Amino acid sequence: MKKGISKGQQMFKNEGKIIKKTYQESFEEYIDTAKIRGLSEDTIRTYYHHHKYFTEFIGKNKNCGDLDVKTVESYILYLQEKDIKKTTINSYVQNISPIIKYCIKKEYILNDFLIPIVKTQEEFKEILTEDELNVLLQPPKGKDFVSIRVYSCVWLLASTGLRASELRNLKIKNVNMLDRVITCNYTKNKKVRYLPISSSLYGVLDNYLVLRNGEGDDYLFPTVYGEILSRTSLQKGIVKYCHERGIQKSGIHIYRHTFITRSVERNVSPLILKNIIGHSSFKQLNHYYNAKVSSMVDVIDSIAPKLNKKESFVKKKGK
């Protein structure tokens, strides 16, 4: 038999065979590609977090060839038995989805399948009221660096709608007080964006920068040792800050929801708002907007048909 024919027959015999890889090996491969593609450290950290729970369920030596839709469905049922919220379960599943899709693309898993999700009831995103904002934006009693740092962070979050990761990675050189603009280089979509500095925020940052007293390449909001502030430290600092003022709403992302809602209610151009917030589409912007019921009532009163008060169809008592 000729060499070419023999080789062709051998290749044909191998077609359809699964390349044996454990899920753990596939995950490590995927993380390497994610780093090459430039995915953020926060995103990669999230993959590690959810990978841990999935491998606890399937076992570290689970072969990719044994994974299918039934495996993921069983994982969802396993999470549901632990009374985990539906939205959290979807987050867990969505963060193992890229690895499974990678395995399918590499033919570690031969049969493609759709990743199942749990249907959930959409809820309005919580926002801060005007009164709550006024309380949070009052200067702190403490004049130490940590107190002023958290206070300045709250002001910046409330004034720009920054994400936590974007705020943590800001450098002193990113703040241009002369032109009243902040350059945000570390973004979710890898696109640089520019944030205007309001007159009030200008005063807060001006005082903070005097206290901060650092060089251009230093982090704007560092630890007391000058290192990048961790998300956990930022979160804990803001929670403590809010609770000391009697405000129980203490999530970092709530400032983003509030900023978007307030901007829409004040008729800020959607295009300008999208550029400030850093969303790639208006659809994402709509997902974050949480219209207050009072605002919707005002709008509907202005556009709905009006009843002539003189033409009442309800017969009053005694008439």
Res 12: pLDDT = 43
Give all domains of the chain, ordered by start, each with its CATH number.
Answer: 17-105 (1.10.150.130), 130-255 (1.10.443.10)
Res 274: pLDDT = 77
292 token code pair: 């207050």
Q: Is 10 exposed, middle or buried (0-12, 13-18, 19+ CB in 10 A)?
A: exposed
31 token code pair: 């993380």
Closest CA to 226 of 212, 239, 207, 242: 212
Residue-by-residue DSSP string for 237-279: HHHHHHHHTT-----TTHHHHHHHHHHHHTT--HHHHHHHHT-
DSSP reduced 3-state for 222: strand
What is the Cα–Cα distance from 292 to 280, expressed in whole angstroms?
25
Crossing angle of helices 145-160 and 199-212, in 10° steps, is 150
Q: What are the C-alpha distances in Å from 193 to residues 259, 269, 301, 304?
A: 17, 16, 38, 39
Res 125: pLDDT = 72
Crossing angle of helices 23-37 and 97-105, in 10° steps, is 100
Task: Indicate yes or no: pTM above 0.85.
Answer: no
Residues 6+ apart with CB under 8 A from 319: none
pLDDT per residue as tens, the chain (319 positions): 455 554 444 444 445 555 788 999 999 999 999 999 988 888 898 999 999 999 999 988 899 989 999 999 999 999 999 988 888 999 999 999 999 999 999 999 988 999 998 887 666 678 889 999 999 999 998 889 999 999 999 999 999 889 898 999 999 999 999 999 999 988 777 788 888 899 999 999 999 999 999 999 999 999 999 999 998 999 999 999 999 999 998 888 899 888 888 887 777 777 777 777 776 655 555 555 555 545 545 554 554 555 555 554 445 555 5
